[in-house]
Amino acid sequence: MTGKKQLKARIRARMAKTGESYTTARLHVAGATGPQTDHGWTLHGGRHSASAAVANLLTNGGFPVSEPLVYLAGGGLGAGYILWEFKAHESCTVVLGFRNRWQYPQRWMDTTLTRLGVPFDVHTTGGAKGASARLSAELASGRACVVLPDLFHVGYWHVPAVLDGRGGHPVVVYREDGDGVWVDDRNLAPLRVDRARLDAARARVGSYKNMLHAVTPAQPRLEEAVLAGLRDCAAHLSGTSDSFSLPAWRKWSRTVVDASAAKGWPKVFADGRGGLAGAMLSIWEAVEPVGTDGGNHRDLFADGLEEAAGLLGLPLTGLAAEFRRIHGLWHAFAETALPEAEHRRVRELTAAVRAAVAEGSAGAADAEAAAAELWALKAEATPPEPDFFPALSERLAEIHRAETAAVAALRDTLPAE
């Protein structure tokens, strides 16, 4: 038992220091280990919730496919920035979009499964009883399902009530057992959720209330899907929207230092007020894979490009290296936003929550304890001095230039339709 505790501590310490995901940190610390299987469902983990859900569904259905290729088939990368101000709580949250269609979860799932040629049914209903009954019927027929629970209501992430209704990410439900269901949220050990909790979590967010994708695994059309996804990615990120395409990074870079704009950071966070500490924490958690949904995805995209080079016979390895470098730029940006020296304990606790979720139901007590301390520290966090805004702006401008050039190179590399 002591050995297991020491191993956990080493993994979580690495996650806190590097921002890596649990799976990556565990691989570096403990080496490769075999996956666990629960009642015929193998828990492979994963990096990004949506692409991992599809990859794990297909792999468990007898059609193994890598998560990076699924990510490419879904359209690859996205870009988006929104600053939410919550005056009632005197807080601010930075919402970042790193995946194509990040603001449209159903559209992403529909598009990805359709491109891959994988049969699926979508169900939505306003009634909780009907939604619950449909899930039970699909599970009884042997079809695992993708659902979208609210993070607060689903419970195992232990987020505070202030995040009630802020949404969540896709998870796979693969079996039910009495008054509970078993979910695959990239965990590496079985994770049981109370059925009433899941039903409430699915019904909470109006824009995708009770949404369910029931999937019938089939051999995916990988070449066709990946090429279509890469074309979609290049076209989307070549757009002009400063909210949902690459110009969002340029806009963000400017507002960080613009004292005259309504959403300019010098105005919003005047004298360090307005939740600057919370905003910096939300940036680090969103950008780094240690957060709840896979980080900035540039490393995942790079892995996909390396695989796609052989699959499609295209010269994509150089672009893969460039996106891996850009992933490093995002890491440096996150380190500027939340330096380890000043925020070591908050980072450690964030890593502890993510690691405990990866450990399934066995990690529930650890997740609850770490989350309680984490959110208490967040409420008391001391904001940085506003004079660091120029450093953030410069890093964002560099990222915008690098990604704009890389996307142009991708567009030029792909064959014409």
Whether 234 contacts 416, CB under 8 Å: no
**pTM of the model as a whole:** 0.95
Is 80 exceeded by the pLDDT of residue 86?
A: no
Residue 16: is its pLDDT beyond 90? no
Q: In what order do the strands lie in the sheet with 171-177?
A: 120-123, 212-215, 145-147, 171-177, 180-184, 191-194
Confidence of residue 31 (pLDDT cuts 50, 70, 90): confident
Boundaries of every domain in the chain: 2-413
Which helix (DSSP H) or strand (DSSP E) does residue 176 occupy?
Answer: strand 171-177
Band the pLDDT of 1: cuts 50, 70, 90: very low
Element (H, E) at 37: strand 36-38
Q: What is the Cβ-side half-sphere exposure of residue 248, based on CA atoms within 13 angstroms?
A: 20
Q: 8 falls in which pLDDT band (50, 70, 90)?
A: confident
**Interhelix angle for 222-237 vs 298-312, to 10°?**
130
- Position 87 confidence tier, pLDDT thresholds 50, 70, 90: low
97-147: pLDDT as tens digits: 999 999 999 999 999 999 999 999 999 988 989 999 999 999 999 999 999
pLDDT in tens, 334-354: 999 999 988 899 999 999 999
* Percent of the chain that is helix, strand, coil (3-state, to 5): 55, 10, 30
